[in-house]
Structure formats: C-alpha cells, structure tokens
Amino acid sequence: MRTPVSARRRSVRALAGFLLVTALALAGCSGAGDSGSDGAGSAEKAVSDARGAAPQEGAAADSGTDEKARDSAPARPAANRIIRTASLTVQVEDVPKALDAARTAAEDAGGFIGSETTTRDEDSAEHTRVVLRVPTDAYQEVLTGLEGTGTLLERTSKAQDVTDQVVDVESRIKTQRASVARIRELMDQATRLSDVVTLEGELSARQADLESLLAQQASLEDRTSLATITLTLSEKPVRAEPKEDDAPGFVDALAGGWDAFVTMLRWLAVAFGALLPFAVALALLALLWLRVVRPRLPRRPAPEPTTAPGPLPQARPVPTPGRGDEEGERD
C-alpha cells in the first residue's frame, strides 16, 4: 500500500530536523578554534543542509518507512467535512413579515444573520436579500422552512467535500509547530550572534507559514460547521384594477392639450436659451464694429462735380430772296 503524501512529508521533515540539530551541534563543538568568518556561516550551512536533505531523503522514506509513516499519520475525521451553500428566491405577500420568520428560523436553529440588504424598485415593491448562517445539522430543515414562506422562484444548492483538505492542513500545522519548536531550541543553544540572526530569520518565516495554516484551518472550520443560505425575498406586484370607462372625456382632452402647450413652451424656452449666447455675441460684435472699427477706417474722397457743356450754337438761316428781287431780275 502506498504511503500518503502527508505521512511522507512528516517523515522527511523529521529527518531534516534531526540533521539540522546534528549539524548545529557539530558546528558548535568545533567552532572554538575557528575564525570569526567560519562561525558566521555555520548556522546558515546547517539550515541549508537540512533543507537540501529533505528531497534526498524522500526516496528512502518512501521505500523503507511505509509502516512507520502509516502508523504516525493523523487519523481521518469520523465525519466528512462538507461546505454547504444554497440560494433561494421567494416571492411573498409581505416582505418584513417573511424576513422576521426567516430570522426566527435561523436563530432557533442556532444560527445568525450574516448580512441584510433591502431595496425598492420603481413600482414601490420591496426586495430584501439576507444571508443566513445555520449549523449544518439544521441546514435542510431551515432550507425547507424558507421555501414554504411564499412562492419559490429559484433555488440553487451546492455541497463541497473538503475532508482531504482539512486533514492535510491539520497535518501541516502539526509539522510546522514541531519545526518552530526545534528552531527555538536551537536558538537557546546558539552562542554566536551570526547563528542567532540566521535562526531568527528562519523562525520568522516558519511562524508566518504556521499563522497562514492556522487561518486556513479556521476558515475551513467555519465553513464546514455553518452552512450559508442566501435568501432573496421579493414582494408581489400590486395589480391595478381596470376602470369601468376608459374612454377619454372633455377634461382629459383639455388636460392633454394643456400638457402639449406647456411642452411646446418648454421647448421654445430651451431653444431660446440655447440661441441666446450666440445672439449676445453677435450683438457685441456689431456694436464693436460700429463704435470702434468703422470710425477708424479711412474715408474715400468725395467725387468732384462735373459741369455739363452748354447748348451748341445754331447756324443762322440763309435768307431767301424776296419777290421784289425776283421781279427786278426779270425786268
């Protein structure tokens, strides 16, 4: 039978810790005659040797310590660790009343209200979204009771088995605590300042890893011990009763005409307001032209008056010979 991964890790880390203790002890015994530079790197070498020995000893631990690792592995929890979540959308007549009933059901089961949000839509219908945290033992009972508060519109549920994850985190926490304890013992035995500084850095890193594992364990414990139910309550819309006579009358027509007239005036006012800045700007430009620019422009000279020629002299008419002259010539 193959050894579980957690058991392998524990055996490897145990061997690495043993090598770390042995290396530091040897370094402390032989460091009396060494120089200051050799003593500064003894702790770092021991820590690096312990880290490098872990992957090399993994193969030997897999082949020769199957029975020992199986005996030292943490026991599997008696019950499976399951994270349960559900989402419900229910339509009710009275949202506050249904919310009080849901709150009472959660508290009676040993749970509590996680969060609550209430809104109203355009039709003044109330909508409430509430998150309930209830023990997993009462999860199904509370879920069934919430479904019966009104008309069920939507339901989704999910179950996630995290048993292996819980076991792995617990095993890693146990190993990490043992590692932190070993580092503290080495710090108590260290005599050089360089060794203390190196061990303090290693201790800080391992304590940070331990705190992260503890936070994961707390989160898993909370999600597996308490189920999460998200309940959305929506109020039924009120149907308007039909009127007996829906035909428009004189008053309705008058009101409609007045609304149209007011709307037209409103649009005219908007158009006038939009054109008013342009009209003011054009008036200012015209005033500037007439008062400032135009008087400074050079004026054209007035045209000189021209005299019209007088009437032309007429020729005197040629005198025609009279009758007496004609008679004298005849004589």
Q: Encode pLDDT of 289-329 as tens digits.
A: 888 887 877 776 666 656 555 565 565 665 665 555 555 55
Residue 191 pLDDT:
84
Residue 229 pLDDT:
92
- List C-alpha distances in Å: 173 to 59, 179, 184: 23, 10, 17
Question: CA-to-CA distance for 212 and 169, rounded, in angstroms?
Answer: 10
Residue 37 pLDDT:
40
Residue 36 pLDDT:
40
- List C-alpha distances in Å: 249 to 19, 74, 221, 254: 101, 86, 70, 9
pTM of the predicted model as reported, rounded to 2 decimal places = 0.47
If you search the block for the tokens 């609304």, which residue do you land on? Answer: 259
Residue 17 pLDDT:
60
**DSSP structural state of residue 113:** E
The closest alpha carbon to 199, from 321, 35, 48, belongs to 48
Name residues of the chain where pLDDT drops below 70. 1-79, 237-248, 300-331
Question: CA-to-CA distance for 41 and 279, rounded, in angstroms?
Answer: 88
User: Phi then psi for 78, rounded to 5 degrees?
Assistant: -65, -40
Q: Encode pLDDT of 260-277 as tens digits.
A: 888 998 999 999 889 889
The alpha-helical segments, DSSP class H, found in the chain are: 5-30, 36-40, 42-64, 66-72, 95-108, 139-147, 163-189, 193-225, 250-288, 294-296, 323-330
